[in-house]
Amino acid sequence: MQRAFFNLLFVSLVVSLQACVAVNSAVVADTPGLKTLAAFPIGVAVNVASAGAGIQVSKERADLIGRHFNSLVAENSMKMSYLHPAENNFTFAGADALASYAHQHGMVLHGHALVWHSDYQIPVWMKNYQGDWEKMLASHVSQICAHFAGTVRSWDVVNEAIDDLHPAGYRASIFYEKIGKSYIEKAFIAAHAADANAELYYNDYNIEGSQGKLDFMLRMIDDFKSRQIPLHGIGFQMHVSSDGPGIAQIRKSFKAVADRGLKVRISELDVAMNQQRQFSTFTPAVAAQQKARYKAIITAYLEAVPPAQRGGITFWGLLDGDSWIGKRYQRPDWPLLFADDYSAKPALSGVAEALTGK
Ligand code: XIL
């Protein structure tokens, strides 16, 4: 209680100081660690190309992560093709190094993702697989879950299985084509059998913005619940922008999942600011707009999801320059909480203010 009060005091002090400076500032680096402001995991995606690389490569990076986050996720290195490059060969070294880094630093590790349609992520051997797909996929899931049992606390078991078409439906992924829609529930069953303690999530994008996609997913959840499929939570990726989706829709979508008794994670949060390509630099006005947007999103999460169902919030990268958004859309953008010189952006204060209920 007392701690919360001091945190609040500290955040207000930092926020007022921040008003005196330009856009980003070393001063804001004094914002209390986000992880001290929440009772649920606050995470960040990190790139770990190989064992020992990644967050350990720079002291500034490691320090910033240690200060603000108590949960990690591999931005890429725990995806299918990296972990399972040949039918009988798993490359766990990089992920094991990340797991022990997390453990040594008192952080939890979230696993992403056991089954994902994205073409470059499906190992070539799998694309060409001629045997029993149902068995093969279950074995892929269960071998990975068994390996990380006890070190990975929660998994994105299936990622992006629903497409955005109107009406929304199951994505015509290779898994869907080979097995049918039951590949989704079978992946959850296999994961649960391999590690009964892991929290199992279905993860997707645009479920906070498209009512049709949300409704389709809710029907899937209700069906899974009625048949006791071990699904424990939903990951809302939340690659959102300053333009949308509207905050009421976001809140309503979180609530619809929470009302079903499931956990809710914000799993890949970033807030793109330059989707119209109208900016060449990150101005104070854009920074202020981004701060307000981050604050509104976190506030909506806290309003819609009861404490026991908050699976946590993960930001999809640390520094703006890490972000996949600029690369993917070939434009300058500044979607994350920290600038490339490691200084905190106003967005960080927006998140802190939301977490402390300011
Ligand atoms: C992205 C990574 O950030 C990029 O580095 C990579 O090139 C492509 O994948 N949804 C997901 C994430 O579930 O795995 C994606 O991550 C972003 C969209």
Q: Summarize pLDDT for 15-60 with one digit per residue, the tens.
A: 333 333 345 444 345 678 999 999 999 999 998 754 444 566 678 8
Rounded Cα gap, residues 86 and 109, in angstroms: 24
Asked if residue 296 belongs to a domain, the reply is yes
Q: What is the pTM of this model?
A: 0.91
189-238 confidence digits (pLDDT tens): 999 999 999 999 999 999 999 999 999 999 999 999 999 999 999 999 99
Asked if residue 143 belongs to a domain, the reply is yes
Asked if residue 19 belongs to a domain, the reply is no
Judge contact between 201 and 232, C-beta under 8 A.
yes
318-339 confidence digits (pLDDT tens): 999 999 999 999 999 999 999 9
Rounded Cα gap, residues 104 and 98, in angstroms: 10
**Domain count across the chain:** 1
Asked if residue 109 belongs to a domain, the reply is yes
* Mean pLDDT value of segment 121-143: 97
Asked if residue 33 belongs to a domain, the reply is no
Q: Which CATH number fits the domain that encloses residue 206?
A: 3.20.20.80
60-106 confidence digits (pLDDT tens): 888 999 999 999 999 999 999 999 999 999 999 989 989 999 999 99
As a dihedral over the C-alpha atoms of residue 98, residue 328, residue 241, residue 72, rounded to 10 degrees, the angle is: 0
Cβ neighbours of residue 98 under 8 Å, at least 6 residues apart? 46, 48, 54, 72, 74, 77, 78, 109
Q: Supply the DSSP symbol for 87.
A: T
Q: What is the distance in A from the centroid of ligand 1 to the CA of 5? A: 38
For ligand 1, atom 3, the nearest C-alpha belongs to 324
Structural domain containing residue 251: 40-356
Which residues are catalytic, by number? 160, 268
Q: What are phi and psi of 167, to 5 degrees?
A: -75, 155
Q: What is the distance in A from the centroid of ligand 1 to the CA of 87? A: 23
> What's the confidence (pLDDT) of residue 22?
42
Asked if residue 13 belongs to a domain, the reply is no
Asked if residue 32 belongs to a domain, the reply is no
Asked if residue 306 belongs to a domain, the reply is yes
